[in-house]
Amino acid sequence: MRPLIFITNDDGISAKGIKSLVEVAVDFGDVFIIAPDKPQSGMGHAITVNHPLRLDASRLFEGLMAFTCTGTPVDCVKLGIYEVMHRAPDLIISGINHGENTSTNVLYSGTMSAAVEGAMENIPSIGFSLANFDSDADFSGAQKIARQVIPMALEGEFPDHVCLNVNVPNLPAEEIKGLKVCRQAHAFWADRFDKRLDQFGKPYYWLTGEFSNEDRGEDTDLIALEQGYASIVPTQFDMTAYKKIEHFKKWIK
């Protein structure tokens, strides 16, 4: 039996990135797609609890089972596993995201949250992102990396309750130096809000800002990309700051 590969993303079903990922995945297994019906960037690990969800068959992927979902990327994963698919997938892949999800962006990213949800379900899961936000970006480099990583995940031993955050530099395929296993860089957004007045003179605020790297380590995803490598960060959902437990125990007499 061919492996069953579940695919989702956060840029929506019509994005070039998911199409690029499907093109690679079909060579490795039977592909099943549930993706948001509209862009869901920045949705993080959001789930839809106060509204019902809709699923609709999509004809965007000829010969493949594909659905759009009105919810978030995490909703897509939950619906796929618990409602739509007849057996658990062997692999969940999410992306290819338009724009990198390095460093702390893992928390904001719907693409990576879908993979983290897969890890909670103990299914090997990978989020792929390309360091190019353009809707018509060239995904051939990211496809090359996906073609390397997907069979590793299907054939290699995938540790329990972990997923992978794969980021690909914005370079022609032949210029990508290879893969590097990294840690999440300690880097942050210096946010700014664009404050404007609407046609009625009422203010509105639009999030913008610059990402800045405070992390001088050589072993981070950001540095790997800078050096022309695709980064792989093993990612877990246990957010306990274990090293600080003793510190806080002292607070309690």
Write out the binding residues for a second copy, residues 11-70 only, by CB under 8 A: 39, 41-50, 52-55
In this chain, which of 34, 81, 114, 145 binds a second copy, going by CB under 8 A? 81
Cβ proximity to a second copy: between 4 and 53 the closer is 53
The answer to whether 152 contacts a second copy (rule: CB under 8 A) is yes
> What's the first-to-final CA gap in the chain, in angstroms?
59
Closest by CA to 35, choosing from 104, 97, 124, is 97
Cβ proximity to a second copy: between 216 and 244 the closer is 244
Which residues partner with 234 through β-bridges?
164
Shortest gap between Cβ of 13 and a second copy (angstroms)? Answer: 16
* Residue 61 CB partners (closer than 8 Å, separation 6+): 19, 22, 31, 33
Q: Are the CB atoms for 100 and 131 separated by under 8 Å?
A: yes
The answer to whether 247 contacts a second copy (rule: CB under 8 A) is yes
Environment class of 128 (CB within 10 Å of its CB; exposed 0-12, middle 13-18, buried 19+): buried
Q: β-pairing, 30-36 with 4-8?
A: parallel
In this chain, which of 63, 202, 210, 218 binds a second copy, going by CB under 8 A? 202
Residues in the chain: 253
The answer to whether 192 contacts a second copy (rule: CB under 8 A) is yes
- Which residues inside 216-245 make contact with a second copy, applying CB under 8 A? 232-242, 244-245
Cβ proximity to a second copy: between 41 and 97 the closer is 41
- Which residues inside 101-120 make contact with a second copy, applying CB under 8 A? 104, 106-108, 113, 116, 120
